[in-house]
Copies of this chain bind each other. A is one copy, B any other.
Amino acid sequence: MKPLTARQQEILDCIRRSVEKEGFPPTIAEIALAIGVSSPHGVREQLRALARKGAIELIPSASRGIRLLAKAEENPGLPLIGKVAAGRPLMTDAQVERHCRLGPELFEHKGDYLLRVQGMSMRDAGILDGDLLVIQREQEARSGQIVVARIDDEVTVKRLQLDGAIAYLEPANPEFSVIAVDLGRQQLCIEGIVVGVIRTRVD
């Protein structure tokens, strides 16, 4: 769609507000009043411009005959990060595979994004390869929580155990080894806490 001018955007917002609040689109005169224009004709031409640009459709000879075409985008849901690229912050657009709508009422804690698990290092915690983790963004975490952590540009999901100045990132699988981080020397960056798990395929 062609870009809208500020005025056109203002009018479009006005129409959207009306539809949302009143249940039907405004008349041309109502738009004129709302945006502070004294003549309906100016608004009319703007509407025609909006119609040309594909934002709305005008139904001739119908009162309030304005149809919104690009309706206000609904809640896209949580971004799903499929593969973590080394050395890049999470949640950049390039890493978002898609968005998933999840009823927030479902999870005890609110999630901010989804992260696809790679590997079986958390198997015994019921987290398998390919599972989606519901992550709540947090800079800090308590001992015992399963966290998304970054050490030297490597992102990993492990159970955190804090012991003074040493942080242990424990896998939940005896085939993997514990990572110990000396907080005095190395930086441990908590990206978030795992608040839910979703397995999208079974078998």
Contacts from A to B (Cβ < 8 Å): 19, 22-25, 27, 59, 63-68, 77, 98, 100-103, 105-109, 123, 125-128, 131-132, 144-146, 194-203
Q: Is the CB of B19 within 8 A of A202?
A: no
CB distance from A58 to the nearest CB of B (A): 11
Contacts of A197 in B (CB 8 A): 197-199, 202
For this chain, the copies found in one complex come to 2
CB distance from A43 to the nearest CB of B (A): 17
Secondary structure dominating the interface of A: loop
CB distance from A131 to the nearest CB of B (A): 7
Partner of A126, one of B24, B25, B108, B123: B123
Q: Is the CB of B123 within 8 A of A202?
A: no
Which residue on B lies nearest to A24, using beta carbons?
B24
Q: Is the CB of B199 within 8 A of A196?
A: yes
CB distance from A197 to the nearest CB of B (A): 4
Bound-complex Cα distance A19 to B25 (A): 10
Contacts of A19 in B (CB 8 A): 23-24
A/B interface sample: 5 pairs, CB < 8 A: A22-B67, A23-B67, A106-B198, A107-B200, A144-B203
Contacts of A202 in B (CB 8 A): 125, 145-146, 194-197
Q: A144-B203, A200-B107 given as contacts; is B63 within 8 A of A27 (CB)?
A: yes
Q: A66-B23, A66-B24 given as contacts; is B126 within 8 A of A200 (CB)?
A: no
